[in-house]
A and B are shown apart, each in its own frame.
Chain A
Amino acid sequence: MALKELSSLEKCLGLKKPNKYSTQGERKVPVLQNNNGPALVGLVTIASHLVHEAKRTELLGNSAEQRAVVQQWLEYRITRLDNCSKEEVKVILKELNQYLEDKVYLAGNSFTLADTLMYYGIHHIIMNLAVQEKEKFLNVTRWFDHIQHYPGVRHHLAPVVVLRNRVYPSGQH
């Protein structure tokens, strides 16, 4: 899972030469073998490294504040979203939905690595949401649809159909 993500991220960043990855441990943590130094371990660490390599550091945030917000949502992705239980999924959707109420992207007004990795991590959840649930978590659904149409992001993942017209008029559930 993480390896597919990293390979999609490489393409998204326009990196021409694909890197070699392996995984370690029960949780299959990705490892990047590096010719010039020690191996790098962990999805966020490797993804941030790739962004630097592609000289696209704006994707990590344009100011110290924005960089901190990006880091926070990257951490949220790997500590809260990954391997979460079914009950926890609802909590996460609720939190993200509230947070995204007045935001276009996770770190405010510009697209960052946090959007890409959150999109990769939440795809299987949004994919399985019923239409009513997509309506309930409207802000998450809107953000998700926006990111899946963002140039060069989707790659290995199937598009999720989001009905932009409300199928169910409100109040008839």
Chain B
Amino acid sequence: MKLFVSEGNPHCVKVLAGLEVTGVKCDVQLVSHEERVVPFLNRPVLPVLLLPSGQHLFSPNAICQYLFEVVGKEASDDGNQLLEWEATELQPAVLQALHMLMLQGKSGEAGTVLKGPLGWLEQYLSKRTTPFLTEETVAVADIVLWAALYPILSNSTFEAGELPSVRGWFKRVSQVPACEAAVQRVLQGKGLDALKNFLQKQPAPHIQRRDSPS
């Protein structure tokens, strides 16, 4: 099994943290953002996990779910729902906010873009009795949502407003040694600036999502 990652790519924080937390054995290879690891995809996508069967996993969330399943932690409705929310609601907003924040210096507008998703997460967390999103310990949803929000919530110029539950949860996950290590490995000691190179190579996010014609 082999995991392909690239420097400064926030999605790679997800899978490296997942790998560390689960302790699954796997070769890790650092490649450039332009490397086309998956032959059937139109543009270079990272991270990629090459499975023993020879199949490529190119979704960071599916890779994380797989790593947790390998160590016997199967998916739950709760966890699935958070992963789906991350992929469909949070991720497009995060990408747009990162562009504004890191490439255009518009921190106020980045806050507006994320107001909805962060407000939802604050509400979700305030109703939980567990220290983490789904359980007493770090689970796959914590890794995925934490890594998605890392470039935003660890950026001091981002104005998020009062988010006590989100901030508390974010800090708890950040202190997990596996998560700290994953950040170091992806940012290579360059701090959040390491993300700029990655962001510049990404297609500009849609400002408004198109609604389906139906």
**Chain A interface residues toward B at CB < 8 A:** 1, 26-27, 29, 40-45, 48-49, 64-65, 67-69, 71-72, 75-76, 78-79, 82-85, 91, 94-95, 98-99, 101, 108, 124
What chain A residues lie within 8 Å of B65 (beta carbons)? 67-68, 71
Q: In the complex, which residues of chain A have a beta carbon less than 8 angstroms from the beta carbon of B169?
A: none
Contact A65 B52 (CB under 8 A): yes
- A64–B66 Cα gap in the complex (Å)? 6
The answer to whether the Cβ of B26 comes within 8 Å of any Cβ in the partner chain is no
* Known A44-B84, A45-B84, A99-B40: A75·B59 in contact at CB below 8 Å: yes
B94 to chain A, nearest CB (A): 13
A142 to chain B, nearest CB (A): 16
CB-CB under 8 A from A29, the residues of chain B are 88
Given A45-B77, A95-B41, do A68 and B210 touch, yes or no (CB 8 Å)? no
Measured CB to CB, the residues of B under 8 A from A are 39-42, 51-53, 55, 57-59, 61-63, 65-66, 69-70, 75, 77, 80-81, 84-85, 87-88, 91, 209-212, 214
On chain B, the residues within 8 Å of A101 by CB distance are: 40
Knowing A71-B59, A79-B88, A95-B40, say if A65 contacts B80 (CB, 8 Å).
no
Q: How far is the CB of B89 from chain A (nearest CB, A)?
A: 8
Q: Are A1 and B81 in contact (CB under 8 A)?
A: no
**A44 to B80, Cβ gap below 8 A?**
yes
Most buried by B among A26, A69, A108: A69
Distance in Å from the Cβ of A114 to the closest Cβ of chain B?
A: 11
Question: Are A65 and B84 in contact, CB atoms less than 8 angstroms apart?
Answer: no
Cα A67 to Cα B77 with chains together (Å): 15
From the candidates A72, A83, A91, A95, name the one contacting B212 in the complex (CB within 8 A).
Answer: A83
How distant is B39 from chain A, measured CB to nearest CB, in Å?
7
What A residues does B84 contact at CB under 8 A?
41-45, 75, 78
Task: State A23–B65 Cα separation when bound (angstroms).
Answer: 26
CB distance from B96 to the nearest CB of A (A): 14
A68, A91, A98: which contacts B57 (Cβ < 8 A)?
A: A68
